[in-house]
Structure 1
Amino acid sequence: MKVYTTSEIRNIALIGNAGSGKTTLAEAMLLEGGVINRRGEVNAKNTVSDHHPIEQDYGNSVFSTVLHAEVNNKKVNIIDTPGMDDFRGAVISSLHVVGSALLVINTPHGIESGTEAVGRYAAAARKPLIFVFNHLDHENANYEQTLDQAKNIYGNKVTPIQYPVNAGPGFNAIIDVLKMKLYKYPADGGKPEVLEIPADEKERADELHNELVEMAAENDENLMELYFEKGELTEDEMRQGIKLGMIARSFFPVFCTGAKHNMGVGRLLEFVTNITPSPAEAVEVPELNGKQVKMDPAAPTALFVFKTSIEQHVGEITYFKVMSGTVKEGQDLTNSKSGNKERISQIFVAAGKNRVKVPEMIAGDIGATVKLRETKVNHTLSEKEAAYTFKPIEFPTSRHTVALKAVNEADDEKVGEMFQKLHDEDPTYRVEYSKELKQMLVHCQGEYHLNALNWFYKNIFKIEIEFKTPKIPYRETITKSAQADYRHKKQSGGAGQFGEVHLMIEPYVEGVDPKTSFSINGKDMKLSVRDTQEYPLSWGGKLIFHNCIVGGSIDGRFMPAILKGIMEKMEEGPLTGSYARDIRVYVYDGKMHPVDSNEISFKLAGRNAFSKAFKEAGPKILEPIYDLEVMVQSERMGDVMSDLQGRRALIMGMGSEKGYEKINAKVPLKEMYKYSTSLSSITQGRGRFSIKFDGYEKVPQEVQDELLATYAAEQDEE
């Protein structure tokens, strides 16, 4: 394969709802580009793109796949992306490195929820869009209705360059109003006849052509002047205006395809090579340190890694975009994150799991390499003197959390090791071990994402796992003051144990001074605070510890042990074993033995006295509350509101935004389990939400009673 220059490269992503035909379109593009000589089919499990076993089992894309085609003396790098929104991380990472996106639409179904979602991701990445109306050979294909839907969402920026003559089972002809020609395809697709537009379509074609000329002229003052002067633009002048409009996202051209029979695909690729921006013209990933990075083969070499995958017998494959300069086989580059060198031993042009070795790649191109030691997604490799760092991909936050454990405890360590491999391949999987909850928590995008995780453990790693409902990180606190004392005494031959602690506790409130007098056992007692220690707790809130011992009833050397015992009980609260917070402790009296008193005795006495006082101090359980924002279509607003009320949500406000209704609410974390699945079901996949931690609030009494009963039952079992 020849080495392509920056101006000869086009980078595109295929995005769209599941079932829109992206993988089939990619297959037709590879056929047109000479990469394959026979089209595979998704149902036959022999496509270049969906080559991973999980994708063949599911019948859907799970990962992005890097492909290429050589068309019109240009190289088109194609990234086929998943359509299910649970795998949106692959869409977002692909959009990060391409110049344009083809939004593939299942015309019989119109604009689906996934279509809108990926359209939002493309807008966030500021990528030009080409609308590809696919499946026009389907019996329910409705071009006009789909075009109206697209215009309702995206406005008049959506501009037909093509329309079908006979959409439906007999579909075989497209009118192109840029070329002003009729493309007529054989029954099995392939190379079309290019004919004049028939008389009965001429009026409509002329009208759409004039609209196209006006839209193209609007993107450049010089073109507008030419248009006013001549009343027309040449095809090359229109191309210039269309390109400028696409880059500014003020123009979204519409193309027509029946990808299954390779109809319209060749003309679509011709448009991609002629009009979509090259890497030198596209919106590129910025350098974080403000350095000037040139899309120039003579500039310092820099690569940005946007994807990794693992293949049996090959190991980890690293996919990169050449951001600057020329990368050559055997070149040493520096990883900006670690500062260590990495050798680019081989360079490949990818077509799914098939790869062609090349000696070098020039700025703007997309390729792959193997055997990098420590370079992962979002890392930059560059020549040492350049020291570039490119803006990382911002992967979406998780929408679904479960607890994960191995069925066989002996596999626990392997589960964690294997998860790291999955995270490297799909960074939207995240895992944490919660010391507080004693659970391994997996954060992912939804049920499909979770099912894919289970598939890997079962089929690739051969480890049996199970998912459980995650525990909630409750907090415990008190609402009033209480007194308790506890004597720890143990005699078992030899040295004994003795320690007695008397203490008071009360709620800690920021800015409120400690008390100096209390009613203890019916008597007013004035306390003298000799020493105060303040401990901000890692889980939130504070513990304030006052030493009020007068007269040496407890030696000062035992106070740290008492504090340690209290802190142990703060870490495992008396009510449910959850962390306790916001408590002020006064240790005011006690007893010790000249021989038997030691640190362990006072630690246990302090721990037990604190636990007794806590239970008498109006104890309350606090639950984590999250700020929730839901975007939903207006006709589903009532159903979503009803569902939220059933989740103990407090509605904080409502409004409208970009054609959607917006609901802001505060919701307990306990009630958010599987909310992504519920919202998707209520809104037919169109609803979306985001959550952010707000704070802790007291649980209702009935919820507290339920939690106490559950904890008591668990303790009995143990």
Structure 2
Amino acid sequence: MKIYDDKHIKNVVFVGAHNSGKTTLAETMLFEAGLINRRGTVENKNTVSDYHDIEHERGNSVFATPLHTEWRNYKINIIDTPGLDDFIGEIISSIRVADTIVTVLNAQQGVEVGTEIIWNYIDKFHKPTLFVINQIDHINSKFDESFKSIKNLVGNNALQIQYPLVVDGAQCIVDVLKMKMYKFGPEGGKPAKLEIPDGQKEWAKELNNELIEKAAENDETLLELFLEKGTLNEDEMRQGIKAGMINHELFPVFCVSALNDMGSGRLMGFIDNVAPAAADLKPEQSVDGKAVKATKESPTALFVFKTVYQPNLGQITFFKVMSGEVRLNDKLSNSRNNETETINQLFIMDGKERQPVNKLTVGDIGATLKLKFTETNDTLAAPNHVLSIKPIKFPPSRIKKAVFAVNTKDEEKLSESLKKIHSQDPTVKISFSAESKQLILSCQGDLHLATIDWTLKNIYGVEARFEKPKIAFRETIQRSSTSNYRHKKQSGGSGQFAEVHLKIEPWNENMEEPQGFIIRGKEEMDLSWGGKLVFYNCIVGGVIDLRYLPSIMKGVLEVMEEGPLTGSYIRDVRVMVYDGKMHSVDSNDISFKIAGAHAFKEAFLNANPKLLEPVMELTVKVPEDMVGSVMTDLQARRSMILGVESNNNYQILKSLTPEAELYGFSTDLRSLTQGRATFKSSFSSYKPVPANVQNDLVN
């Protein structure tokens, strides 16, 4: 196929709420350009982008799918993304490599919850963005309300390029950049280009003037030109709009009917002529802060933004050429692990279809197969060109589950399968809790979890079971206690004998040294599970030999690794060993270890033991009119509200919430706010568990 230079490659990503029509619009653009002979539909499960079995089964996009079209000597790479924020990892990775974001809205709904959530990420990336109001010919279409909702989202810099109009029963689109009206037949396709009707000229001229003024504001030369002659021509307006898009200060708004093939050609023309290419944007940054020049003369650098595993093909690696050119059989170095990869195959992907190419140039998006050492977020660069491009920052997980193989023989297979899923989708996190002896799966939500379960079952052949994870409680004490224990065992020959007297106290930072003891030695131990053990040798008169003190401490630590209340780790205790006895023949290390463990356990149970629970710092972003319901839910979860801040039409609630109470919070929050609220949490500290909760847990 034709190889395009960097000035004629445009990378766009389609984002938007569920059912906004992204997949249909992509299908129509491919059809309009003549790259496919007939348009598939989501209902018939035959679109180019939604080709995975799970997407056919669920009837919606689950994966971001790269494809391309060609329009008037430009190549447009399109990434069609899911509309549900459970799959936010697919959306973010696609935004990261796109040059322009195309946000698709359903004309019946305008800006929806999903649009708002995705916009928050677009705004952080500061990428050029345009809006497309789809389904303008639907009987319940509300174009004006949809446009107002865009203005509410992005402000007055939403720029209306088009609006729909019905003339003599025919669907039309008035374009105020070209000052023409496009009239479509019943089957859509190529429209008739007409003059704007007399009754619409005044309104169209008003919008055209607004467009001219906005375009002039974004370029000093254009502003001087505008002040000089009072207007701008079409080419000058395009220049100003492009500058505004690059600065993330202008957001053009188009209208289409993707289903009936109306307006897609004009949208592609705008992407060709106005939407920025990679070379127009600020250079990518490497991890060490260096600019990556987007020129074909620079050393080759590929950024891997997505990997997919298919049973019949293995791993497919998707990348964007950030600099230079990549050719078939090139050897490139992975900056993360210094491994060399050979590009044995090079493709342009259109859904599941692969088009082989011999090379790809800077700014283009392509794919290769069966790389051995490369994952999402890796950089592949020329061997003599050490470079690591800034990785994609994926959002933290929102739900956690303990995962088990239904058939215990599949435990290892389950672990390997989850590692593959994580390599394809970094928003899936896998960890093993040595404390709870559970494999913990973290992901974005219930639908995300259902997709993982489907993949395990249908792709990897593993039946999995998901449960509520155990909470990592801690045990400590609230007062001092003394205890002694004699271990004596005689079973023929050498026996076992040890007697240990000790006192324990709660430990806290900056406390004074123990009173009433002669301290002969002190050891502070930072425990791997948090907190401290401070161990004092207070032996007087040599009643216990110094060589047995480490064994006593080992016995204490054994108990601390499995506390008497709930089997949880013990923390923040200091121990004073002050007396005891030994036998010249029968005393040994194991005897003092056993005696130390029993003495410590008895003292612990008599020291008013207390259970501690992990408390999370929770931040919830919720619409103003829903704060009350969320606040009530948080209080029912034993939360301590730290404060409330305003952020446009949202409130930011900050609280300290026990981790044990956050189970199911993601689902409940979505239900309470119709999916409009978001949250994040991070570990804060361990706090005492209320007495009634402790009694239930101990029982």
TM range, normalised to the smaller chain?
over 0.9
Which residue matches 2:396? 397
Displacement of 1:494: 4.2
Preserved contact between residue 181 and residue 196 of structure 1 (Cα < 8 Å): yes
Preserved contact between residue 375 and residue 424 of structure 2 (Cα < 8 Å): no
CA distance in structure 2 between the partners assigned to 1:476 and 1:182 by the alignment: 74
Matches within 5 A, 1:7-86: 7-86=7-86
Preserved contact between residue 160 and residue 208 of structure 1 (Cα < 8 Å): yes
Preserved contact between residue 291 and residue 388 of structure 1 (Cα < 8 Å): no
Matches within 5 A, 1:291-690: 291-517=290-516, 527-690=517-680
- Please list the CA deviations of residues 408-440 of structure 1 after superposition, one character each: whole Å capped at 9, or x if unmatched: 211111110000110111110001100011111
Preserved contact between residue 480 and residue 506 of structure 1 (Cα < 8 Å): yes
SS of residue paired to 2:68: strand
Preserved contact between residue 105 and residue 134 of structure 1 (Cα < 8 Å): yes
Preserved contact between residue 430 and residue 442 of structure 2 (Cα < 8 Å): yes
SS of residue paired to 2:240: helix
Preserved contact between residue 170 and residue 183 of structure 2 (Cα < 8 Å): no
In structure 2, give the amino acid aligned to 1:336: S
Displacement of 1:351: 0.5
Which residue matches 2:209? 210
Preserved contact between residue 7 and residue 278 of structure 1 (Cα < 8 Å): yes
Displacement of 1:77: 0.7
CA distance in structure 2 between the partners assigned to 1:453 and 1:334 by the alignment: 31
CA distance in structure 2 between the partners assigned to 1:561 and 1:40 by the alignment: 74
Query: TM-score, normalized by length of structure 1?
Result: 0.95
CA distance in structure 1 between the partners assigned to 2:457 and 2:268 by the alignment: 40
Matches within 5 A, 1:96-111: 96-111=96-111
CA distance in structure 1 between the partners assigned to 2:645 and 2:340 by the alignment: 52
In structure 2, give the amino acid aligned to 1:285: E
- Please list the CA deviations of residues 203-225 of structure 1 after superposition, one character each: whole Å capped at 9, or x if unmatched: 21111111111111111122122
CA distance in structure 1 between the partners assigned to 2:32 and 2:474 by the alignment: 62
CA distance in structure 1 between the partners assigned to 2:232 and 2:165 by the alignment: 25
SS of residue paired to 2:204: helix
SS of residue paired to 1:246: helix
Displacement of 1:595: 2.9
Preserved contact between residue 311 and residue 459 of structure 2 (Cα < 8 Å): no
CA distance in structure 1 between the partners assigned to 2:611 and 2:283 by the alignment: 50
CA distance in structure 2 between the partners assigned to 1:266 and 1:397 by the alignment: 39
In structure 1, give the amino acid aligned to 2:188: G
SS of residue paired to 1:260: coil
SS of residue paired to 1:156: coil
Q: Residues 448 and 338 from structure 1, CA distance in 2 versus in 1: closer, same or farther, beyond 3 angstroms?
A: same
SS of residue paired to 1:679: helix
SS of residue paired to 2:536: strand
Which residue matches 1:523? none
- Please list the CA deviations of residues 301-344 of structure 1 after superposition, one character each: whole Å capped at 9, or x if unmatched: 11111111112221111111111111111111111111121111
Is residue 132 of structure 2 the alignment partner of residue 132 of structure 1? yes
Displacement of 1:287: 1.7
SS of residue paired to 1:165: strand
Displacement of 1:257: 1.0
RMSD: 1.4
CA distance in structure 2 between the partners assigned to 1:296 and 1:198 by the alignment: 46
Preserved contact between residue 137 and residue 170 of structure 1 (Cα < 8 Å): no
CA distance in structure 2 between the partners assigned to 1:349 and 1:228 by the alignment: 46
SS of residue paired to 2:118: helix
CA distance in structure 1 between the partners assigned to 2:84 and 2:165 by the alignment: 31
In structure 2, give the amino acid aligned to 1:536: D
Preserved contact between residue 96 and residue 285 of structure 1 (Cα < 8 Å): no
Preserved contact between residue 126 and residue 283 of structure 1 (Cα < 8 Å): no
Q: Residues 137 and 489 from structure 1, CA distance in 2 versus in 1: closer, same or farther, beyond 3 angstroms?
A: farther
- Please list the CA deviations of residues 570-621 of structure 1 after superposition, one character each: whole Å capped at 9, or x if unmatched: 1111111111111000111222233332222221111111111001111111
Q: Residues 285 and 687 from structure 1, CA distance in 2 versus in 1: closer, same or farther, beyond 3 angstroms?
A: same
Matches within 5 A, 1:695-710: 695-709=685-699
Matches within 5 A, 1:171-250: 172-250=171-249
Stretches of structure 2 lacking an aligned partner (at least 5 in a row)? none
- Please list the CA deviations of residues 539-598 of structure 1 after superposition, one character each: whole Å capped at 9, or x if unmatched: 111000111122222222221111111111111111111111110001112222333322
SS of residue paired to 2:530: coil
- What's the % identity of the aligned pairs? 51
Preserved contact between residue 97 and residue 285 of structure 1 (Cα < 8 Å): no
CA distance in structure 1 between the partners assigned to 2:655 and 2:18 by the alignment: 31
SS of residue paired to 1:629: strand
Preserved contact between residue 613 and residue 688 of structure 2 (Cα < 8 Å): yes
CA distance in structure 2 between the partners assigned to 1:475 and 1:255 by the alignment: 57
Displacement of 1:293: 2.6
In structure 1, give the amino acid aligned to 2:244: G
CA distance in structure 2 between the partners assigned to 1:182 and 1:269 by the alignment: 17
Which residue matches 1:117? 117
Displacement of 1:139: 2.0
Preserved contact between residue 20 and residue 105 of structure 2 (Cα < 8 Å): yes
Higher mean alpha-carbon deviation, 614-623 vs 378-387, is at: 378-387
SS of residue paired to 2:156: helix
SS of residue paired to 2:35: coil
In structure 2, give the amino acid aligned to 1:684: Q
User: What is the number of equivalent residue pairs in this alignment?
Assistant: 699
Displacement of 1:515: 1.4
Preserved contact between residue 99 and residue 283 of structure 1 (Cα < 8 Å): no
SS of residue paired to 1:96: helix
CA distance in structure 1 between the partners assigned to 2:449 and 2:290 by the alignment: 40
CA distance in structure 1 between the partners assigned to 2:441 and 2:321 by the alignment: 33
Displacement of 1:636: 0.5
Which residue matches 1:153? 153
In structure 2, give the amino acid aligned to 1:600: I
CA distance in structure 2 between the partners assigned to 1:246 and 1:592 by the alignment: 82
CA distance in structure 2 between the partners assigned to 1:283 and 1:442 by the alignment: 37
Is residue 142 of structure 2 the alignment partner of residue 142 of structure 1? yes
CA distance in structure 2 between the partners assigned to 1:583 and 1:148 by the alignment: 62
Query: TM-score, normalized by length of structure 2?
Result: 0.98
SS of residue paired to 2:566: coil
Displacement of 1:681: 0.8
Preserved contact between residue 336 and residue 378 of structure 2 (Cα < 8 Å): yes
Displacement of 1:498: 2.3
SS of residue paired to 2:386: coil
Which residue matches 1:713? none
SS of residue paired to 2:697: helix
Which residue matches 2:287? 288
Which residue matches 2:684? 694
CA distance in structure 2 between the partners assigned to 1:357 and 1:27 by the alignment: 21
Displacement of 1:32: 2.1
